[in-house]
């Protein structure tokens, strides 16, 4: 099953490689991994999207906790949570397709952030599945380039990952 | 007071009470060696290869419970140390390894003797550091020692660029400030401990299975008290030997691939299993599915949560330091009104005694050719069962584990997890230095000993009177055994040809060498060797070429599918 695991770690050089190395060394999947500093400059927050059986996910959580630089780990799937991902898509937008592309972007609550003669660049945010749906909804042959950040997650309401 | 980085490093080691540093100099650590030269508190042991430095520090640590320290240079110094580091990591041995690194300004430029030491060692250390600022050096070393020995112990590497070791900073050895991301558990959860006690009291066919965690935690006394209070059978893993006295009547021998028939059968058929500081390794329980098909309740005590439910599902998980948890468990059991079901326990012991009566460790001795098991039995006899025994890896290791009855922890020193050939001799050096007057023997084979044979020179320099007991069968015996069983007797590259004359070799290094070819000479030779208190003696026993290690649970099989010598 797909899990979103969030963790806080010391903002030290090499901390990312410890996490990435752990996943490859133990044969765990990584669907996506994002990392950025938090409001506390000494800590980074990482979101890992992975998949595996319950046993594997349990091991992943334990192994992450075992890393000396990892401050806290939360498996988002253990409770209510929100998931968001940002995607930028560059599409061919000419003739009739130009208007159609604008409509599709509106339907998916996307924004056109760059307009050129033949191209649009569309910004979309949402759960990964919504971004997938957008890519399926438009004419595939018009897609020139996509770039996605990978998911980040946050608990709903009182679920807070903080030191 | 302002000191250079090198001086700070040495002062830190002094503050930590380090007696010995095992190392090898080189360009990147010249300032540190200079600082070593200018003091006399710490003794440096110059090895002949960096792998041996780490194994020696490891042997020192295993035999004392102190942190072992190794010092190596950058590049090849660090890469040579990697096998030693991985060995210590797999067996959870607390070490601090200081490696030199090229100067900060050269890092990333493929400089001479540059390698990404932090990157290379990352998967086989508990943690590692690259010190970028001399001002951080003392605090980093303080953390390194704390991390190495606390929680589940392990090796910690500190990489120091050459320029950092020459820059100056104000020195005061820091107090340890808490590491917010690192909180090793101590006491186990009380409710879980009570639940465990209840399961133990309700058990009809109980079994206690303990590993290296008991030795590392210093919990042998608690384990003995617990076992005697309950009257349950006890088995040890290879790493756990000595954690429970081998001559105690409740001890059923080692468990696992080459464990006793009774230990393996009892592990398989028990209804409540108390696992303490052990991790259900593949060499211990064999096939997981086979093991798990028998319904039994498992209580697992371990300091590392990731060791629990990694290979087998458990019913009661207790995360904590083994000594603390066993102490608390004893208190709960003492306070309980309920007693163990003595009738059920008697029936269970009757079953175990039936398995015992197979006498699975009996081997056919010979007047013609030296049986390796016989050598170990005599070694046990002549050393009064009280020596420190290090070993290499292979058949000789298993025979030493099976036939040398360890009654005390920290006497059996071997590479259990990584299975590192070449471990035995350098580990023995560390043990001998830690226990100058003690009897130290390295049980080895003609294959393993050659992997760090150069250390005979170190032994000469530091007058280490180790007794090397080489079971020389002219084969890589364990490889040959597997080829016999699983590869149609095709002995691919497992025969050792062109062996050196080990007697002359020992003599060339300035030691005493003895060759023993007849069974009747085994005992006199051992007696003579161990009487030479000041000499390293290399005993080259020409043993039976085709002897196999039994019992044996073949790879992929279950514990009850064990093969005994008599089956063949």
B180 touches chain A (CB under 8 A): yes
Q: Considering only CB atoms, which chain B residues are within 8 Å of A59? A: 306, 309-310
Pairing mode of beta strands A152-155, A143-148: unpaired
For residue A11, the distance in angstroms to the closest alpha carbon of chain B comes to 12
Model confidence pLDDT, tens digit, residues B88-115: 999 999 999 999 999 999 999 999 999 9
Q: Tell me the C-alpha distance between B444 and B392, whole Å.
A: 5
B373 to each of B262, B289, B391, B471, B503, how far by Cα in Å?
Answer: 19, 33, 14, 10, 22
The minimum CA-CA distance between B394 and chain A, rounded to whole Å, is: 26
Q: Is there a single domain that holds both residue B333 and residue B228?
A: yes
Q: How far is A62 from chain B (nearest CA, A)?
A: 5
Q: What is the pLDDT of residue B198?
A: 98
Helix axes B372-382, B395-403, angle to 10 degrees: 40
- Residues from chain A that touch B118, judged by Cβ atoms under 8 A, are 14
What tokens appear for B395 in the block?
């058949």
CB B121 within 8 A of CB B144: no
Asked if the structure places residue B337 within a domain, the reply is yes
Give how many domains chain B has, as a whole number.
Answer: 3
User: What are the chain A neighbours of B159 within 8 Å (beta carbons)?
Assistant: none
Q: Is B478 a catalytic residue?
A: yes
Is there a domain that residue B558 lies in? no
Cβ-Cβ contacts under 8 Å, B126 against chain A? 68
Beta-carbon separation of B147 and A68 below 8 A? yes
Select the residue of B119, B130, B306 nearest A62 (Cβ to Cβ).
B306
Tell me the β-bridge partners of B468.
B442, B538
B473 vs chain A: nearest CA distance in angstroms? Answer: 37
Burial of A111: CB neighbours in 10 Å, binned 0-12, 13-18, 19+: exposed
Marked catalytic residue, from B162, B297, B371, B467: B162
Asked whether the beta carbons of residue B181 and residue A66 sit closer than 8 angstroms, the reply is no
Last residue of a domain, one of B170, B200, B228: B170
Burial of A106 (0-12, 13-18, 19+ CB in 10 A): exposed
- Rg of chain B over CA atoms, in angstroms? 24
DSSP, res B55: H
- For A43, list phi and psi in degrees, rounded to 5: -125, 145
Nearest CB to A59; choose among B147, B181, B306 = B306
- Cβ-contact B519, B367 below 8 angstroms: yes
Q: Nearest CA of chain B to the CA of A81: how many Å? A: 24
Residue B507: both structure tokens together: 């003599």
Predicted confidence (pLDDT) per residue in A125-157, tens digit: 999 999 999 999 999 999 999 999 999 999 999
Check: CB of residue B203 under 8 Å from CB of residue B340. Answer: yes
Residues B99, B10 share a domain: yes
What whole-number distance in Å separates Cα of residue B11 and Cα of residue B560? 55
Q: According to the model, what pLDDT value does residue B79 have?
A: 98
From first to last of the 568 residues of chain B, give the pLDDT tens digit: 899 999 999 999 999 999 999 999 999 999 999 999 999 999 999 999 999 999 999 999 999 999 999 999 999 999 999 999 999 999 999 999 999 999 999 999 999 999 999 999 999 999 999 999 999 999 999 999 999 999 999 999 999 999 999 999 999 999 887 899 999 999 999 999 999 999 999 999 999 999 999 999 999 999 999 999 999 999 999 999 999 999 999 999 999 999 999 999 999 999 999 999 999 999 999 999 999 999 999 999 999 999 999 999 999 999 999 999 999 999 999 999 999 999 999 999 999 999 999 999 999 999 999 999 999 999 999 999 999 999 999 999 999 999 999 999 999 999 999 999 999 999 999 999 999 999 999 999 999 999 999 999 999 999 999 999 999 999 999 999 999 999 999 999 999 899 999 999 999 999 999 999 999 999 999 999 999 999 999 999 999 999 999 999 998 999 999 999 888 7
A42 CB within 8 Å of a chain B CB: no
- B377 and B351 share a domain? no
List the structure tokens of A21. 């190395």
Contact residues on chain A for B127, CB-CB shorter than 8 A: 68-69
**How open is the CA angle A148-A43-B134, to the nearest 5 degrees?**
120
Distance CA B415, CA B238 (A): 9
pLDDT at residue B242, rounded to an integer? 98
Q: Are strands B168-170 and B206-210 parallel, antiparallel or unpaired?
A: unpaired
Residues B133 and B222 in one domain: no
Q: What is the helix (H) or strand (E) element at residue B291, kind and residue range?
A: helix B288-292
Residue B366 domain flag: no
Average model confidence (pLDDT) for chain A?
A: 96
- Four-CA torsion A124, A130, A133, A137, nearest 10 degrees: -40
Strand A119-126 versus strand B467-472 pairing type = unpaired
**Known catalytic residue: B50?**
yes
Nearest CB to A68 within list B119, B123, B127:
B127
**For residues B147 and B156, is the Cβ–Cβ distance under 8 A?**
yes
Q: Pick A21's closest partner by Cβ from B122, B126, B181.
A: B122
The secondary structure of B190-201 as a DSSP string is HHHHHHHHHHHH
Q: Spot the catalytic one: B112, B168, B354, B527.
A: B112
B304: chain A residues, CB-CB within 8 Å: 66
- Cα–Cα distances (Å) from B231 to A34, A145, B201, in that order, read 54, 71, 11
B310 in contact with chain A, both atoms CB, cutoff 8 A: yes
Closest to A17 (Cβ–Cβ): which among B122, B126, B304?
B122
- Candidates B397, B421, B272; CA nearest to B344 is B272
Q: Is B76 in the same domain as B201?
A: no
Residue of B118, B127, B306 lying closest to A63 (CB–CB): B306
What are the residue ranges spanned by the domains of chain A? 2-78, 82-152
Q: What is the pLDDT of residue B224?
A: 98
Residues of B in contact with A65 (CB under 8 A): 305-306
Contact B123 A55 (CB under 8 A): no
CATH architecture of A2-78: 2-Layer Sandwich (3.30)
Of A10, A58, A62, the CB nearest to B181: A10
Judge if the upstream peptide bond of residue B551 is cis by omega within 30 degrees of 0: yes
Residue A71 touches chain B, beta carbons under 8 Å: yes
Check residue B293 and give left, alpha or beta (phi > 0: left; psi -120 to 50: alpha): alpha
Residue B566 belongs to some domain of the structure: no
Q: Do β-strands B68-72 and B20-23 pair in parallel, antiparallel, or remain unpaired?
A: parallel
Q: Same domain, yes or no, for B377 and B349?
A: no
Q: Residue B307 is part of a domain; what is its CATH number?
A: 3.40.50.1220
Q: Do B309 and A68 touch (CB under 8 A)?
A: no
Number of neighbouring beta carbons within 10 Å of residue B98: 25
CATH of domain A82-152: 3.30.70.1150
B2 is annotated as an active-site residue: no
Do B148 and B204 reside in the same domain of the chain?
no
How distant is the Cα of B497 from the closest Cα of chain A, in angstroms? 37
Within a domain: residue B175? no
Q: Which residue of B has its CA nearest to A56?
A: B310
Q: Are residues B338 and B387 in the same domain?
A: no
Do residues B3 and B137 lie in contact, with contact meaning Cβ atoms separated by under 8 Å? no
Verify that B441 and B543 share a domain, yes or no: yes
CA torsion angle A64 A68 A70 A76 (round to 10):
30
Answer yes or no: do B468 and B502 share one domain.
yes
- DSSP tally for chain B: helices H, then strands E: 22, 20
The answer, for A59 touching chain B at a CB cutoff of 8 Å, is yes
Comparing alpha-carbon positions, the chain B residue that sits nearest to A71 is B181
Q: Indicate if B429 belongs to the active site.
A: no
Residue A73: DSSP 8-state: E
Count contacts between A and B (CB, < 8 Å): 38
- Do A4 and A151 form a contact (C-beta atoms < 8 A)? yes
Taking the Cβ of residue B288 and every Cβ of chain A, the question of whether any pair is shorter than 8 Å is answered with no
Mean pLDDT of A111-122: 97
Residues B238 and B270 in one domain: yes
Say which CATH number the domain at B40 has.
3.40.50.970
pLDDT tens sequence across B184-208: 999 999 999 999 999 999 999 999 9
* d(C-alpha A81, C-alpha A79), whole Å: 6
Identify whether B522 is part of a domain.
yes
Q: What residues make up the domain containing B259? A: 190-356
Helix (H, G, I), strand (E, B) or coil at A4: strand
Interface residue A25 vs chain B (CB under 8 A): yes
Cβ neighbours of A69 in B, within 8 Å: 127, 181
Same domain, B219 and B158: no
B267 within a domain of the structure (yes/no): yes
As a whole number of angstroms, the distance between CA B538 and CA B472 comes to 12
- Note whether A93 and A67 are within 8 A (CB): no
**pLDDT tens-digit series, residues A23-63:** 999 999 999 999 999 999 999 999 999 999 999 999 999 99
> Quick check: B306 and A59 in contact, CB under 8 A?
yes
Which residues fall within 8 angstroms of residue A145, CB to CB, at 6 or more apart? A89, A90
Domains A2-78 and A82-152 fall in the same CATH topology: yes
| Other Cβ atoms within 10 Å of B111 Cβ, number | 16
């Amino acid at each position: 099953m797909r899990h979103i695991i969030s963790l806080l770690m010391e903002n030290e050089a090499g901390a990312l490689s410890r996490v990435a190395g752990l996943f490859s060394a133990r044969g765990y999947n990584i669907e996506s991994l994002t990392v950025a500093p938090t409001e506390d400059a000494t800590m980074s927050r990482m979101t890992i999207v992975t998949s595996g059986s319950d046993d594997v996910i349990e091991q992943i959580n334990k192994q992450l906790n075992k890393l000396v630089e990892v401050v806290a780990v939360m498996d988002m799937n253990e409770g209510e949570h929100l998931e968001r991902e940002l995607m930028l898509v560059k599409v061919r937008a000419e003739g009739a397709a130009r208007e159609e592309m604008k409509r599709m972007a509106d339907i998916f609550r996307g924004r056109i952030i760059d307009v050129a003669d033949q191209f649009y660049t569309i910004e979309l945010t949402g759960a990964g599945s919504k971004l997938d749906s957008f890519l399926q909804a438009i004419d595939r042959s018009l897609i020139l380039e996509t770039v996605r950040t990978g998911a980040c997650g946050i608990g709903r309401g009182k679920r807070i990952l903080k030191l | 007071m302002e000191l250079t980085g090198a001086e700070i490093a040495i002062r830190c080691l002094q503050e930590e009470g380090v007696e010995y540093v095992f190392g090898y100099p080189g360009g990147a650590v010249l300032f540190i060696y200079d600082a070593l030269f200018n003091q006399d508190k710490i003794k440096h042991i110059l090895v002949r290869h960096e792998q041996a430095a780490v194994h020696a520090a490891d042997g020192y640590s295993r035999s004392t419970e102190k942190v072992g320290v190794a010092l190596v240079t950058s590049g090849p110094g660090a890469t040579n140390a990697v096998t030693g580091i991985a060995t210590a990591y797999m067996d959870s041995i607390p070490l601090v390894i200081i490696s030199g690194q090229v100067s900060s300004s050269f890092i990333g430029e493929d400089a001479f003797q540059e390698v990404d030491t932090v990157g290379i060692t990352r998967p086989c250390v508990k943690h590692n550091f690259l010190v970028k600022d001399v001002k951080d050096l003392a605090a980093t070393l303080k953390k390194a020692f704390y991390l190495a020995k606390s929680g589940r112990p392990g090796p910690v590497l500190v990489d120091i660029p050459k320029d950092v070791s020459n820059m100056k900073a104000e020195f005061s050895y820091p107090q340890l400030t808490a590491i917010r991301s690192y909180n090793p558990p101590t006491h186990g959860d009380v409710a879980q401990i009570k639940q465990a006690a209840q399961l133990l009291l309700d058990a009809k066919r109980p079994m206690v299975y303990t590993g290296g965690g008991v030795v590392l935690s210093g919990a042998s006394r608690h384990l003995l008290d617990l076992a005697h209070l309950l009257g349950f059978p006890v088995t040890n893993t290879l790493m756990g030997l000595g954690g429970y006295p081998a001559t105690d009547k409740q001890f059923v021998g080692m468990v696992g691939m080459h464990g006793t028939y009774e230990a393996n059968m009892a592990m398989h058929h028990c209804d409540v299993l108390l696992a303490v500081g052990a991790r259900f390794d593949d060499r211990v329980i064999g096939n997981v599915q086979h093991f798990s098909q028998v319904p039994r309740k498992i209580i697992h005590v371990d300091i590392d949560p990731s060791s629990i439910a990694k290979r087998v599902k458990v019913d009661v998980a207790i995360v904590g330091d083994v000594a603390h948890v066993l102490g608390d468990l004893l208190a709960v059991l003492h306070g309980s009104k309920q007693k163990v079901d003595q009738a059920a326990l008697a029936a269970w012991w009757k079953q175990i005694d039936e398995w015992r009566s197979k006498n699975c460790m009996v081997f056919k001795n010979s007047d013609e050719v030296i049986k390796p098991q016989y050598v170990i039995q005599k070694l046990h006899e002549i050393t009064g069962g009280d020596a420190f025994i290090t070993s290499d890896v292979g058949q000789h290791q298993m025979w030493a584990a099976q036939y040398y009855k360890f009654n005390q922890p920290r006497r059996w020193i071997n590479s259990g997890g990584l299975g590192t050939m070449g471990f035995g001799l350098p580990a023995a050096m560390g043990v001998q230095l830690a226990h100058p007057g003690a009897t130290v023997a390295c049980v080895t084979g003609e294959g393993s000993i050659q992997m760090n044979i150069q250390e005979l020179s170190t032994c000469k320099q530091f007058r280490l009177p180790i007794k090397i007991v080489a079971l020389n069968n002219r084969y890589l015996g364990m490889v040959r055994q597997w080829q016999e069983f699983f590869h149609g007797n095709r002995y691919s590259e497992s025969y050792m040809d062109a062996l050196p004359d080990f007697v002359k070799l020992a003599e060339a290094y300035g030691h005493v060498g003895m060759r023993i070819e007849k069974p009747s000479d085994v005992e006199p030779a051992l007696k003579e060797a161990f009487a030479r208190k000041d000499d390293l003696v290399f005993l080259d026993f020409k043993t039976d070429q085709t002897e196999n290690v039994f019992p044996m649970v073949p790879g992929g099989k279950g514990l009850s599918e064990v093969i005994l010598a008599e089956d063949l």
